[in-house]
Amino acid sequence: MTREQADGSGRLRVVVADDQAAVREPLAAVLALAEDIDVVAAAAHGGEVLAAVDAGPVDVVLMDLRMPVMDGIETTRRLAEEHPEVAVVVLTTFADDASILGALGAGARGYLTKNAGRQDITRAIRAAAAGQSVLDREVQDRLLATVRTQARQPEQEVPDALPDDLTPREREVLALIGRGLPNRGIAESLFISEATVKTHINNLFAKAAIRDRADAVRRAIAAGLA
């Protein structure tokens, strides 16, 4: 079921999460000016995010990473497990490798730094709601730099080469993971069920010794698939 079918309005229901009220409140006010966005809640930490989503419905969470009680990465992981229909777009001042890979590995569909303008943020929210991924240019550059650095390490430490026994479908799935699509987005792109996507991912991870989704993104980029 699409979002438009679910509520009939075509408007995106967004939760803004940031521990600083001086950031959270103006951001919520600015987003509310968009004609297709309703800010349904503002949260100071991950616990409040989960409560807002439980009370729902919610389409997208705009997520800060460094928050008390429950940080953005753990909150994103919980949402991916408990509410996979809710998209997460990270908006943070941090663009280090651990933050980027941690957030993407937890299931975030977008990652922006707080240098992003309103148009960039609203574009990322709309893309995430449509099952697409938007990464800040700085974030893309960091990911590519990480891949290049790791690719220069001994092969036994970073096995970037994909095994020959991957099926064409498994390569397609890896490419879509590399583009940031969640399982639902992959299923829609390939016209298969989410259960079939999960089977392909399990087989892919086992064959290629991929640790997690963040590692899959790195491997897809290293293999030139994303």
Give the model's pLDDT for residue 152. Answer: 53
Average pLDDT in the 53-72 region? Answer: 91
- Residue 89 pLDDT > 70: yes
> What is the pLDDT confidence band of residue 99, given thresholds at 50, 70 and 90?
confident
DSSP state of 11: P
Residues 175-181, mean pLDDT to the nearest whole number: 79
Side chain identity at residue 184, one-letter code? R
Average confidence score pLDDT of the chain: 83
For residue 15, pLDDT over 90 is answered with yes
Three-state DSSP class for residue 165: coil
Query: Is residue 182 predicted with pLDDT exceeding 80?
Result: no
Confidence of residue 86 (pLDDT cuts 50, 70, 90): very high
Residue pair 80/53 in contact by the 8 Å Cβ criterion: no
Q: Enumerate long-range contacts of 109-116, CB under 8 Å, 24 or more apart.
A: 109/133, 109/134, 109/180, 109/181, 109/182, 110/134, 110/135, 110/180, 111/135, 111/136, 111/139, 112/136, 112/139, 113/138, 113/139, 114/23, 116/91
The residue-averaged pLDDT of 122-147 equals 79
The mean pLDDT value for 61-89 works out to 91
